């Protein structure tokens, strides 16, 4: 198993989901239901980001670490996933104010579903990041619900039925525009701009048909886009310790975004030189023995991206590539014409 390779880097991995809505905003589940779903698919932590509220009580429930954030949600767009904050942040049309307020509280934030194209309930236009010159701390590059809804064809009954039954077929890739914007932000800023993947689970219940529908149950959503974080120590026992480990890893871009419905395995990504090995969110010096490595248990298509430009695409389960240029390297992994995962960058300096 490729997964065990992380122990050579002295890394411990922990998988969790972000961007979950509960009964405290427009989700249908309480914390007990949500954590039972997370536990049943083997997740160790979840981040609840209800809209404009901070009422969830965080802690450990059913063995799952529940961290609360907030999806600051102005009416017209600029949804911002605020993490590591202590009190509720009011939505404001001036997104810079929101970004600054998150920072003032010592937190960090991610632009949620920045390139969504569909209409959600009760809105007149897609909820996007309106002005991309306003720089968030990080970007939610892949949002399962958004990707699903974006790919709904004509909303006739057959297409809707197909989309409901074969939901995983609709979620193929992170939006190109989001990846491009994220790369641009990384080219502007010297630090790594972190990316996350979110599920945007609401488990919306519809009772107008003969059979009540849930779109989509938490358990199903939690088997899709997760964030594999890399920790320097095993995940702690106490809640506060777990919370700081996970938030620090996400803030530092020490995570790999994977869609577990495409493949439940763990990919390995590292850059090494003659002295050491590092992974997502870390940096390493260029020397004559610098190599980029990607290993997987199955044969996959691997793209290597340097400063936003694709420099290689190969089909293999074991990529070893010599590196002779400085910059931010990230990888994308595809299986059966779908994206399986997106790494955060490693900086070679
Ligand atoms: Zn949103
Ligand atoms: Zn949301």
Please tell me the distance between residue 225's alpha carbon and the centre of ligand 1 in angstroms. 16
Q: Quick check: 6 pLDDT over 80?
A: yes
Closest listed residue to residue 258, CA positions, set 84, 50, 14: 14
Ligand showing the shortest atom-to-Cα distance for residue 114 = 1
Ligand showing the shortest atom-to-Cα distance for residue 70 = 2
Per-residue pLDDT tens for 129-172? 999 999 999 999 999 999 998 888 777 888 888 888 889 988 99
Per-residue pLDDT tens for 192-232? 999 999 999 998 888 777 777 788 999 999 999 999 999 99
Ligand showing the shortest atom-to-Cα distance for residue 76 = 1
Please tell me the distance between residue 170's alpha carbon and the centre of ligand 2 in angstroms. 19
Domains of the chain: 2-259 (3.20.20.140), 268-348 (2.60.40.10)
Mean pLDDT, residues 86-93 taken together: 95
Please tell me the distance between residue 64's alpha carbon and the centre of ligand 1 in angstroms. 24
The full DSSP string for 137-205 is: SEEEEEEHHHHHHHT--S-SHHHHHHHHHTHHHH--S--HHHHHHHHHHHHH-SS---EEEE--B--EE
Q: Ligand 2 (ion): which residues have CB within 5 A?
A: 71, 200
Per-residue pLDDT tens for 97-108? 999 999 999 999
Please tell me the distance between residue 145's alpha carbon and the centre of ligand 1 in angstroms. 10
Ligand showing the shortest atom-to-Cα distance for residue 145 = 2
Banded model confidence at residue 125, pLDDT cuts 50, 70, 90: confident
Confidence (pLDDT) at 153? 72
Q: Take residue 69 and report the two structure tokens written for it.
A: 């954030």
Ligand showing the shortest atom-to-Cα distance for residue 72 = 1
């Amino acid at each position: 198993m490729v997964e065990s390779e992380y122990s050579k880097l002295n890394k411990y991995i922990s998988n969790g989901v972000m961007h979950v809505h509960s009964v405290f905003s427009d989700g249908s589940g309480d914390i007990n239901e949500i954590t039972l779903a997370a536990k049943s698919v083997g997740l160790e932590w979840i981040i609840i980001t209800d809209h404009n509220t901070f009422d969830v009580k965080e802690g450990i429930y059913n063995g799952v670490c529940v961290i609360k954030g907030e999806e600051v949600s102005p009416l017209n767009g600029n949804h911002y996933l605020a993490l590591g904050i202590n009190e509720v942040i009011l939505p404001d049309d001036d997104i810079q104010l929101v970004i600054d307020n998150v920072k003032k509280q010592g937190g960090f934030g991610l632009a949620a579903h920045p390139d969504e194209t569909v209409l959600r309930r009760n809105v007149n236009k897609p909820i996007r990041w309106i002005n991309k010159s306003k720089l968030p701390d990080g970007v939610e590059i892949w949002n399962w619900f958004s990707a699903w809804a974006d790919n709904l064809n004509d909303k006739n009954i057959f297409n809707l039925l197909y989309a409901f039954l074969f939901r995983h077929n609709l979620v193929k890739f992170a939006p190109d525009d989001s990846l491009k914007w994220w790369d641009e932000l990384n080219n502007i800023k010297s630090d790594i701009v972190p990316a996350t993947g979110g599920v945007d689970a609401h488990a919306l219940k519809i009772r107008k048909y003969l059979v009540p529908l849930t779109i989509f149950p938490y358990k199903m959503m939690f088997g899709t886009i997760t964030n594999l974080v890399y920790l320097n120590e095993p995940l702690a026992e106490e809640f506060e310790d777990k919370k700081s480990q996970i938030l620090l890893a996400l803030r530092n871009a020490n995570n790999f975004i994977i869609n577990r419905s495409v493949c439940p395995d763990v990919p390995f990504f590292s850059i090494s030189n003659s002295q050491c090995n590092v992974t997502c969110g870390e940096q390493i010096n260029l020397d004559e023995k610098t190599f980029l490595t990607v290993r997987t248990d199955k044969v996959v298509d691997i793209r290597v991206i340097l400063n936003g430009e694709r420099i290689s695409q190969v089909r293999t389960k074991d990529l070893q590539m010599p590196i002779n240029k400085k910059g931010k390297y990230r990888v994308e992994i595809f299986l059966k014409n779908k994206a399986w995962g997106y790494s955060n960058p490693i900086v070679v300096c």
